[in-house]
Amino acid sequence: MLRTSTPQSLQNQDTAQSMAKERRKTILAIGLVVIETLLVMSALVPAQFWTRFLPNSTSAALDGPFPPLVAPIITLLLYVLPTVIGFLCPGWQKALLYATLPAWFGLGVFLVAATFKIGPFYLVSADHVAANVSLLELFAALGAIGWLGRFLFKK
């Protein structure tokens, strides 16, 4: 009886460990989505705000709140984080959703702000539709690349 219950308990323990591992990956992916969203949102703040908010900074209009040495790292993170998010997701559906959520939030905020100046049909104007879709496609492609990378690093 001891022999038959030991493999079952080991299997249950392995299942519990793999579930805990997937839960940690999901929490990490959601945390990265939040960080990516904050980076995208900071890019939407007009340069005039940063020059008023950081009057002693000579590069506030160009780099925003980030010092010139850190600005290239922020750009790199904007490309790398969706890929890492896609890599952490077990299914391609979650990888695409999580990778594009920051772009969705950023576009939503931008479009709402643009309607105050331009009007409610900014979203559907021909020249803006392509740019908005391209941004979503970029984030989706980066998430898909990350998800596909999972298969390269399998055990």
Domains of the chain: which residue ranges? 23-152
Q: What distance in Å separates the CA atoms of residue 141 and residue 113, rounded to the nearest whole number?
A: 26
> Could you read off the pLDDT of 127-150 as tens digits, one per residue?
777 777 888 999 999 999 999 998
pLDDT at residue 120 greater than cutoff 50: yes
Question: pTM higher than 0.85, yes or no?
Answer: no
For the segment 45-74, what is each residue's pLDDT rounded down to a tens digit? 777 777 777 777 777 666 677 777 888 898
CA dihedral sign, ordered 105, 38, 118, 127:
negative
